């Protein structure tokens, strides 16, 4: 497996996700996400670079095994109400992209028997609304 890319996560998001994971049963996704949180560099919210995937970012990424590109807003599971536009942090891809910078890629297990590489193409921070 390739070396994992650097991750940057805000302290507030780290704490919120840690609390969420503590309240959930362990499975492959929660274990992977916890591992990612533990290796991330933590920063205060206003020091998080704009091209880092965080909660409520609008992210365009490509799943390299299929060549398909998607654009979603990364959300907490309780906020998920539109699967055509939103991606839960507890989905395999959602847990893979948190903390990644635009232009980064990560090798990620999307099921116990299936792994792929996810490439983050573009990130719009939560406060930026894309033009129609």
Rg (CA), the chain: 14
**With contact defined as beta carbons under 8 Å apart, do 52 and 65 qualify?**
no
Query: Residue 37 is part of a domain; what is its CATH number?
Result: 3.10.50.30
pLDDT digits (tens, 9 = 90+) for 9-67: 999 999 999 999 999 999 989 999 999 999 999 999 999 999 999 999 999 999 998 99
- Confidence tier at 129 by pLDDT (50, 70, 90): low
pTM: 0.91
Q: pLDDT-derived band of residue 130, with 50, 70 and 90 as boundaries? A: low
How far, in Å, CA of 125 to CA of 132, rounded? 16
Residue 17 lies in a domain: yes
Residue 131 lies in a domain: no
Residue 113 lies in a domain: yes
SS3 118: strand
pLDDT at 121 over 70: yes
Quote the pLDDT of residue 7: 96
Asked whether residue 98 is assigned to any structural domain, the reply reads yes
How many domains does the chain contain in total? 1
Residue 96's domain comprises 8-124
**Domain membership flag for residue 108:** yes
Question: What is the structure's pLDDT at 1?
Answer: 52
Q: Are strands 8-10 and 86-88 parallel, antiparallel or unpaired?
A: unpaired
Rounded to whole angstroms, the Cα distance separating 38 from 130 reads 32
In the 3-class helix/strand/coil scheme, how is 35-90 assigned residue by residue? HHHHHCEEECHHHCCCCECCCCCEEEEEECCCCEEEEEEEECHHHCCCCCCEEECC
Query: What pLDDT shows up at residue 132?
Result: 46
Q: Is residue 54 part of a domain?
A: yes
């Amino acid at each position: 497996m390739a070396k994992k890319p650097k991750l940057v996560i805000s302290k507030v998001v780290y704490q919120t996700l840690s609390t969420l994971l503590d309240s959930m049963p362990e499975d492959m996704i929660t274990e992977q996400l916890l591992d990612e949180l533990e290796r991330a560099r933590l920063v205060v919210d206003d020091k998080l670079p704009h091209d880092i995937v965080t909660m409520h970012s609008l992210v365009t990424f490509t799943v390299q095994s299929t060549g398909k590109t998607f654009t979603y807003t990364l959300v907490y599971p309780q906020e998920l109400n539109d699967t055509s536009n939103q991606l839960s942090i507890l989905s395999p891809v959602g847990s893979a992209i948190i903390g990644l910078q635009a232009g980064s890629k990560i090798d990620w297990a999307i099921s116990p028997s299936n792994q792929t590489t996810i490439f983050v193409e573009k990130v719009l921070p939560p406060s930026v609304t894309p033009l129609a």
